[in-house]
């Protein structure tokens, strides 16, 4: 099956700095992919390249079908009413499901006559997401959709998106630097660090394939590939990839998503990427 | 897409149309009042060049000047306003509010978005400029029967014909390009005002070279008998036929005038004419009106296309 999003050898440069280098990854159809990484890792740049807001210096991005985008800070025309915002969407797009959009907003209790500038942060996010979903996209790209929202609004926005994913073939790529927001909703993980993907894969498989080990410093972890390790006194804690080690002094458990992400971000030289597929070209 | 253009810019469109309507009402009112005055006070054969028409001409002149003072600044200020409020925000406001990332990620391509915005708004600006030109051209003859100055007076020249339309278009394109460059509205507005002013004075200087000036040799006077001609320069012609900037060795005593009197200068000129000197005037006759209009239109339209192209190039290279 063709992936919903396929990025091959992408490189983007701002003046003399490379923001993305040799960036390759793919997201299968129907997934909700979390794009995480520290500030300045290139998340926004990767998303902008995906939606055509910038031309890469090298490499390419392939999206299967229509892509809709909600940029950071949910840009909307503040002097438009909500109804006019929907008209904007209808006039600017080939595919447009206006009835579904109106239903969604009615359900959320957002009045159509209200000026967009007068909406609360949560309502604004919902209007932006509604506008994107009404385009019936195959891929929905959301740049920090939950930033600046209170916990209730975060929950509501995520629930709206999840309801759409459950309904069909929609693939979602959303970025965040708060991993805990993504734990319950995402099933695919991409960790971006210093312009390169460090981890890319199914979240369950990733968690199954890693272990958090704690034990005495002199114990050997020979069979496992150490992602990152930290020492507190005589105890060593580490996150490893692969089979559990034979040394019985290790205590092993399954990592949480946040632990996994943190371990990789702490050691940029480690990577967990699918084996490179032969270029299909 | 056209709905989107209209909705985003309707404030500018409505205000501009309103101001034009207001100006139209003012001109119409003034023309009607002047027409009534002429009907009541004009002697037979007036208005016209006749001597008996002097009083009427003065009265009309006073009415003309009163209205002209209201919009005489228009050749400069109107394009500056168009550039600042139509051109500068077109891309500048989009960038500074981040809405370019909304507008340019819909199904409509950035290329098409630019094409529609620039052609619809550019077209509206040209239409507005032509409307202004039409109104001024209908209004002026009511006061200026027989005495035209649409060519010699560069301010009036830029308010009639196609000049307002191309100036407005140029300012709009300059504002759009400035908005694309700065990605901010306010600096783009400032650049437009400065840019339009500089361009206008440059074009004033340049316009002398739109055609080879005509030459006339005068005797007995140094003033060309055509108030609507544009003077380019003048020079004395010696009896030998040689043209000189300053006659020397003519034997005519030259004294500096005190204050605003021109008595000494006159005496000196009469002396020179008496000795066989002639005065050559270089000028553009009013018959070159359309040639100058189209030359200016050509230059400004070309500049507008280049500026629009630069703005589009900048946007398309890195839309985000």
Residue A278's pLDDT band (boundaries 50, 70, 90)?
Answer: very low
Q: Distance between CA atoms of B51 and B47, rounded to whole angstroms?
A: 10
Question: Using omega within 30 degrees of 0 as the cis cutoff, is the peptide bond preceding B47 cis?
Answer: yes
Pick from A249-258, B35-44, B259-268, B286-295 the range whose average pLDDT is largest: B286-295
Q: In what helix (H) or strand (E) does residue B79 lie, and over which residues does it extend?
A: helix B74-82
Mean pLDDT over B4-28 rounds to: 94
- Looking at the structure, do residues B241 and B307 belong to the same domain, yes or no? no
Strands (E), A38-157: 58-63, 67-70, 139-142
Cβ pair B106:A135 closer than 8 A: yes
A17's tokens: 């700095």
Whether the Cβ atoms of residue B229 and residue B283 lie closer than 8 Å to each other: yes
Mean pLDDT of the B18-42 span: 88
Burial of A158 (0-12, 13-18, 19+ CB in 10 A): buried
Instruction: Say how far apart CA A246 and CA A224 lie, in whole Å.
Output: 10
Chain centroid, CA B7 distance in Å = 31
pLDDT at A280: 42
State the pLDDT at residue B256.
81
What is the per-residue pLDDT for A1? 67
Predicted confidence at residue B275, as pLDDT, reads 87
- The answer on B280 and B292 residing in a single domain is no
Cα A54 to Cα A44: distance, rounded to the nearest angstrom: 11
DSSP output for B172-195: HHHHHHHHHHHSSHHHHHHHHHHH
What confidence score (pLDDT) does residue B80 get?
96
What's the confidence (pLDDT) of residue B53?
75
Of the pLDDT bands very low, low, confident and very high (cuts 50, 70, 90), residue B11 is very high
- Could you say which DSSP state residue B1 is in? -
Predicted local distance difference test score (pLDDT) of residue B49: 64
Q: Cβ contacts of residue A207 below 8 Å, gap of 6+?
A: A254, A255, A256, A257, A260
- Please tell me which of the candidates A55, A80, A92 has its beta carbon nearest to residue B107: A92
Which is nearest to A66 in space by CA: A136, A8, A128, A1? A136
Do B111 and B259 reside in the same domain of the chain? no
Every domain of chain A and the residues it spans: 5-202, 209-266
Q: Give A 13-72 residues with CB within 8 A of chain B.
A: 48, 51-55, 66-69, 71-72
| Structure confidence at residue A247 (pLDDT) | 78
ipTM for the whole predicted complex goes beyond 0.85: yes
pLDDT at B62: 85
Mean of per-residue pLDDT scores for chain B = 90
* Cα→Cα distances B8→A77, A141, A255, B107, B121, Å: 9, 25, 51, 18, 11
Domain extent, residue B282, equals 214-286
pLDDT higher than 90, residue B289: yes
Interfacial A residues in 209-238 facing B (CB < 8 Å): none
Report the CATH architecture of A5-202: 3-Layer(aba) Sandwich (3.40)
**Count of domains observed in chain B:** 2
Q: What is the DSSP letter of B144?
A: -
Of B230, B226, B78, nearest to B147 by C-alpha is B226
**B102 to chain A: nearest residue by CA?**
A75
Whether the per-residue pLDDT at B146 is higher than 80: the answer is no
pLDDT-above-70 percentage for chain A: 95
Task: Measure Cα distances from B282 to A158, B44, B73, B212, B287 in Å.
Answer: 78, 38, 28, 9, 15
Angle at B176 between CA B170 and CA B179, to 5 degrees: 140
Same structural domain, B159 and B236? no
Per-residue model confidence (pLDDT) at position B195:
97
Q: Are the Cβ atoms of A51 and B105 closer than 8 angstroms?
A: yes
* pLDDT for res B16: 96
Question: Token pair for residue A174?
Answer: 């959303």
Distance of CA B280 to the CA centre of its chain: 28
Per-residue pLDDT for B104 more than 70?
yes
A222 pLDDT band, cuts 50/70/90, is low
Among all chains, which residue has been given the structure tokens 């409020």? B85
Output the pLDDT for position B291. Answer: 94
- Residue B77 and residue B224 share a domain: no
The pLDDT value recorded for residue B50 is 65
CB contact under 8 A, B105 and A76: no
Q: Which residue has the tokens 């094409």?
A: B115
Q: Percentages helix, strand, coil for chain A, rounded to the nearest 5?
A: 30, 30, 40
pLDDT at A62 over 60: yes
Statement to judge: residues B44 and B149 lie in one domain: yes
């Amino acid at each position: 099956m063709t992936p919903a999003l396929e990025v091959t050898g992408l490189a983007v440069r701002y003046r003399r700095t490379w923001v993305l280098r040799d960036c390759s990854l793919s997201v299968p159809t129907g997934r909700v992919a979390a794009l995480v990484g520290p500030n300045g890792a290139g998340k926004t740049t990767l998303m902008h390249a995906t939606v055509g807001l910038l031309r890469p210096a090298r490499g390419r991005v392939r999206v299967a079908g229509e892509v809709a985008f909600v940029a950071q800070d949910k840009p909307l025309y503040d002097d438009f009413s909500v109804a006019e915002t929907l008209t904007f969407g209808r006039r600017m797009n080939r595919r447009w499901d206006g009835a579904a959009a109106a239903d969604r907003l009615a359900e959320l209790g957002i009045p159509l006559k209200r000026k967009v500038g007068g909406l609360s942060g949560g309502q604004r996010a919902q209007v932006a997401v509604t506008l994107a979903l009404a385009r019936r996209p195959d891929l929905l790209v959301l740049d920090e959709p939950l930033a600046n929202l209170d916990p209730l609004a975060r929950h509501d926005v995520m629930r709206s998106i999840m309801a759409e994913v459950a309904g069909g073939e929609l693939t979602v790529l959303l970025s965040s630097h708060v991993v805990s927001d993504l734990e319950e909703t995402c099933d695919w993980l991409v960790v971006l660090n210093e312009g390169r993907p460090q981890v890319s894969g199914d979240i369950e498989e990733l968690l199954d394939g890693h272990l958090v080990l704690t034990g005495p410093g002199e114990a050997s972890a020979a069979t496992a590939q150490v992602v990152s390790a930290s020492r507190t006194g005589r105890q060593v804690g580490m996150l490893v990839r692969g089979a559990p080690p034979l040394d019985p002094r290790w205590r092993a458990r399954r990592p949480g998503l946040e632990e996994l992400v943190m371990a990789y971000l702490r050691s940029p030289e480690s990577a967990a990427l699918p084996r490179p597929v032969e270029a299909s070209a | 897409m056209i709905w989107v253009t209209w909705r985003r810019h309707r404030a500018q469109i409505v205000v501009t149309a309103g101001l034009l309507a207001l100006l139209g009402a003012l001109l119409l009112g003034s023309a009607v009042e002047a027409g009534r005055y002429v009907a009541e006070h004009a002697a037979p054969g007036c208005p016209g060049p006749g001597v008996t028409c002097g009083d009427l001409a003065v009265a009309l002149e006073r009415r003309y000047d009163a209205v002209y003072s209201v919009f005489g600044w228009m050749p400069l200020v109107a394009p500056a306003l168009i550039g600042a409020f139509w051109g500068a925000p077109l891309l500048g406001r989009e960038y500074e509010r981040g809405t370019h990332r909304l507008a340019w990620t819909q199904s409509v391509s950035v290329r098409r978005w630019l094409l529609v915005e620039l052609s619809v708004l550019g077209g509206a600006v040209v239409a507005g400029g032509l409307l202004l030109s039409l109104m001024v051209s209908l209004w002026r003859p009511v006061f200026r029967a027989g005495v035209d100055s649409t060519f010699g007076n560069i301010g009036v020249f830029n308010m009639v014909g196609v000049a307002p339309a191309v100036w407005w278009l140029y300012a709009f394109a300059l504002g759009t390009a400035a908005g694309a460059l700065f990605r901010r509205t306010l600096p783009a507005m400032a650049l437009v005002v400065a840019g339009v002013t500089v361009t206008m004075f440059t074009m004033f200087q340049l316009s002398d070279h739109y055609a080879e000036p005509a030459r006339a040799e005068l005797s007995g006077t140094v003033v060309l008998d055509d108030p609507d001609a544009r003077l380019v320069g003048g020079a004395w012609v010696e009896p030998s036929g040689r043209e000189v900037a300053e006659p020397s060795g003519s034997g005519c005593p030259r004294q500096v005038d005190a204050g605003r009197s021109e008595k000494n200068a006159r005496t000196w000129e009469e002396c020179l004419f008496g000795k066989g000197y002639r005065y050559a005037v270089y000028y553009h006759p009013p018959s070159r009106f359309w040639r100058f209009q189209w030359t200016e239109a050509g230059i400004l339209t070309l500049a507008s296309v280049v500026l629009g192209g630069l703005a589009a190039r900048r946007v398309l290279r890195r839309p985000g």
